[in-house]
Structure 1
Amino acid sequence: MTGLTPGVYPVNVLPAAPPNFLTGVPAFVGRAPTGPGTPRRLTLWPEFEAVFGGPAEGFLHDAVRGFFENDGVACYVVRLADTDPAAPSPDELERALAALEEVDDVDLVCAPDLAAAWRPGSAIDTVTGPQRALLRHCRDRGDRFAILDCLATDDPGIAAGQRDALNATDGAAGSYGALYHPWLRVGDRDGRPRHVPPCGHIAGVYSRGDRRVGVHKAPANEVVEGALDLRSDLTAEQAGELYARAVNCVRALPGRGIRVWGARTLSDDPAWRDVSARRVVANVHRWVERFMRGLVFEPNDIRLWVRIMRELTAYLDGLFQRGALKGRTAEEAFFVKCDSETNPGPVVDAGMVVTEIGVAPSAPAEYIVVRVIQGASGVTINAV
């Protein structure tokens, strides 16, 4: 190259790539014959049997197999130490969830053995109590979503009652999970049919949709691979009644196979009713948290505020271009505000940076405001 001072060479410096991550990555919590009690990442079905052994009491084996049968890419497995086939103890479940706190890759949580604790005539709370612990875990983190199994029942009324019980004590956590009914009929390694909770297969459907379209794709009207039949066949009327009660159905449709027929969270709040809306915001949460980690100890002035607005605007515009946000223009789809209004003198003096983000997910197309506060204790993200 000519025209350069001798000894001076051009160097192309590219900006650092924005943080990126795989979505549709579930953590499965359940019983297995062997294996570690700490989270283990798996990318192939044979890895599960090599690490955790073959089928055991419970449904962890079936859930992980169903995940990979439905084009799941990667998952984590946490083995419960409990040997009680009735239900994992609260302490053991909390230990497993605590072990997942340090795993950044996970955005879905499944515990297929929880629903197996119920028997006809027993109290629903034996299942809904531990399932609420999963919902609280996802709510407290803000970046995970629980895929929950209905009880092993043919009665749609019991399934609807389970949903009401899950939402009874903490409705705010309900938007962080979805409930699926009925159980699936699959073949085991000996070819004998058995009924299993649907969460593993459903998690694979989530992963498949994320990879093909993105987290804004509703995980519904998708074929469930690996299922031979259903524990019960729901009529269109029954499925409609359950969907109105925020229970997602799996249906056998003539000529179309077995499909997921619903994408509702447990929440009564219209803004958080759709699974895709919650997962889009959870995805924004994950991205913002990772981006903001790189800004710790930066001078808290207008230059930092402009940088935050520039990077977040570029990221949200990418979501808008992919169809995750609704609006004719980017201005209608989202906003980012980080200036002297969100950061008055007392906030700056306290060592915090406050950013407000508004997004309109493609469903339900209403603004959801996210408040991001960065301080000495880390990043706090609240969706309001």
Structure 2
Amino acid sequence: MGNMKTPGVYIVEKNAFPNSVVEVATAVPAFIGYTQTASKNNKSVLNKPIRVTSMAEFHNIFGLSPNLQFGFAVAADAVSADMSLGEKHFTVEASGKKYRLYHSMQMFFLNGGGPCYVVSVGDYAADLAKDGMLAGIKTLVKEQEPTMVVVPDAVSLAAADCYTVQQQMLMHCGSKMRNRFALLDVHNGFQDKEDSVAAFRAGVPNKEIGDFGAAYFPWVNSTLFSDSDVNFNYLNDEGKTALQASLNDELGTPDATSDIGKMLAGLTATETAEEDPTPVDIDKALRASCITYPALIKEICSQLNLIPPSGAMAGLYTMTDNARGVWKAPANIGVLGVTSPAFEISDEEQESLNVDVNGKSINAIRSFIGEGTLVWGARTLDGNSLDWRYVNVRRTMIMLEQSVKLAAKAYVFEPNDAQTWVTIKSMISNFLTGIWKRGGLAGAVPADAFSVHVGLGETMTGEDILEGILKITVLVAITRPAEFIEITFQQQMQKS
């Protein structure tokens, strides 16, 4: 009325609905590692979080996959060999730097991944170093959207450096930001079941913030590479020479002018003439004429397909969140693009993984007949905590906290009186009612699922109001997974 000084008609609009709480995103992982390039719009994006939504967009900004080289040599015995053919034993070992980010990104999108952030900390010419990865984690501090942190290249470091990076991932998620979740791989999680698990538990000691992270074990055998994708060019120079010698021995040193002799000579040729066989011709001929070469290709393909599971798990988290909600435990779901775990885990072996005296639970990836490869665990690294034992409980609480926090910012500097209290209480209650209806909170009625408290004498004292403090207490009953199902059978007396 104070602005009405001139006679006339004035229109006043009033909001019919109060402010609402908007549910924040829950499945936006941030991947940190090494890429072929890091350029967007002809500008370097090295050590900068970049949002991508597909593998094609990743290719445009960060390039293609690394070219891993392998060594090939005769082994002394079957124990030290990677490949055995009768009485002959060979070692096949990667000789280059093992960059794992690219293939983890493939597994992420293959398993239902969507928008994510990528931080490139170096190209394929750079050495794998913990300092670069730690610097990449720090770049995420100013980004509010990511809700998960994944560093697949950490397991390519020495064990001590890997654990340092993983500790900082947990510190970043649990102490610094408290709005995101870390997905960890077990170093050397493809061998020495007990040793690798024990070393991981000793190397990642932050149990105070363990509920902000989860570990998955063992590694998985993927389907990213097939035998047709691999040829002798995956061998380093020494490996090609050793292969040539082995094939000469197998084939009886064929005449250099024969077709197969020319093929063998082409393995190590540095200069080729127009009439010389092409690499494709050499590959086809060797696959058809000998035993060692196809076995070698199969072994190289097997090693290329062995990858840590964190990238796939980030995709499964995203798929589960989109299909069921963040309150659904990301477990008892199949891992796509995988033929099997690196090794089988029995019920007895999983007991020590799932329940640990220090609470550092590790989630198993297991193979079941007729069901494929399933994620068979949903615990955080704080497995002894009744509050934060389960992954979905911690991630649901993160979503609720961040959603309410962002909505409550609208009331900063508003009058700290009953009208504001009622408005905030109704806003949060409406939001939680929606979550309860979708199955995110446990209870037969909303009153059993949550309660919101705010007001003088309820959450605040008169001194709090004088200090400008508005306190809100929210109690929620988050759904927990049925991890153990017990079915009791008992005989009864015949009644008819």
Instruction: Specify the TM-score bucket, using the shorter chain as the normaliser.
Output: 0.7 to 0.9
The residue number in structure 1 matching 2:174 is 139
Residues in 2 aligned to 1:346 and 1:60: alpha-carbon distance in whole angstroms: 53
Residues in 1 aligned to 2:364 and 2:13: alpha-carbon distance in whole angstroms: 57
Structure 1: stretches of 5+ with no match in the other structure: 1-5, 119-123, 366-384
The residue number in structure 1 matching 2:27 is 24
Residues in 1 aligned to 2:413 and 2:134: alpha-carbon distance in whole angstroms: 34
* Corresponding residue to 1:70 among 94, 111, 115: 111
The residue number in structure 2 matching 1:303 is 419
Question: 2:393 touches 2:479 (CA, 8 Å); kept in 1?
Answer: yes
The structural deviation recorded for 1:214 is: 0.4
**More deviation in 151-160 or 68-77?**
151-160
State the AA in 2 paired with 1:44.
Answer: S
The residue number in structure 2 matching 1:291 is 407
State the AA in 2 paired with 1:21.
Answer: V
SS in 1 for 2:338: coil
Cα separation, partners in 2 of 1:10 and 1:292, compared to 1, 3 Å: closer
Residues in 2 aligned to 1:88 and 1:185: alpha-carbon distance in whole angstroms: 26
The residue number in structure 2 matching 1:88 is 130
Residues in 2 aligned to 1:256 and 1:361: alpha-carbon distance in whole angstroms: 29
Indicate whether 1:212 and 2:222 are aligned. no
Cα separation, partners in 2 of 1:329 and 1:94, compared to 1, 3 Å: same
The residue number in structure 1 matching 2:312 is 201
The structural deviation recorded for 1:133 is: 0.7
Question: 1:110 touches 1:146 (CA, 8 Å); kept in 2?
Answer: yes
Residues in 2 aligned to 1:251 and 1:116: alpha-carbon distance in whole angstroms: 23
The structural deviation recorded for 1:132 is: 1.1
The residue number in structure 1 matching 2:218 is 182
Residues in 1 aligned to 2:203 and 2:414: alpha-carbon distance in whole angstroms: 43
Residues in 2 aligned to 1:14 and 1:256: alpha-carbon distance in whole angstroms: 52
Residues in 2 aligned to 1:162 and 1:271: alpha-carbon distance in whole angstroms: 26
Indicate whether 1:329 and 2:445 are aligned. yes
Question: 1:39 touches 1:77 (CA, 8 Å); kept in 2?
Answer: yes
Q: TM-score, normalised by structure 1?
A: 0.85
Question: 2:20 touches 2:407 (CA, 8 Å); kept in 1?
Answer: no
State the AA in 1 paired with 2:34.
Answer: R
Q: Deviations over 1:356-375 (max 9, x none)?
A: 1111211179xxxxxxxxxx
Indicate whether 1:251 and 2:251 are aligned. no
SS in 2 for 1:200: helix
The residue number in structure 2 matching 1:376 is none
The structural deviation recorded for 1:294 is: 1.4
State the AA in 1 paired with 2:455.
Answer: D
Mapping of residues 35-46 of structure 1, within 5 Å: 35=38, 36=45, 37-46=47-56
Residues in 1 aligned to 2:207 and 2:318: alpha-carbon distance in whole angstroms: 26
The residue number in structure 2 matching 1:338 is 454
Kindly tell me the number of residue pairs found equivalent between the two proteins.
352
Indicate whether 1:359 and 2:359 are aligned. no
The residue number in structure 2 matching 1:261 is 376
SS in 2 for 1:272: coil
The structural deviation recorded for 1:343 is: 2.0
Cα separation, partners in 2 of 1:95 and 1:297, compared to 1, 3 Å: farther
The structural deviation recorded for 1:297 is: 1.7
Question: 1:163 touches 1:179 (CA, 8 Å); kept in 2?
Answer: no
Structure 2: stretches of 5+ with no match in the other structure: 1-7, 39-44, 67-97, 231-300, 483-496
The residue number in structure 2 matching 1:112 is 152
Structure having the larger proportion of residues in strand: 1
The residue number in structure 2 matching 1:51 is 61
Indicate whether 1:129 and 2:151 are aligned. no
Mapping of residues 261-280 of structure 1, within 5 Å: 261-267=376-382, 268-280=384-396
State the AA in 2 paired with 1:286.
Answer: Q
Residues in 2 aligned to 1:355 and 1:163: alpha-carbon distance in whole angstroms: 39
Once superposed, what is the RMSD of the aligned Cα atoms?
2.4
The structural deviation recorded for 1:349 is: 2.1
Q: Percent identity?
A: 30
SS in 2 for 1:271: coil
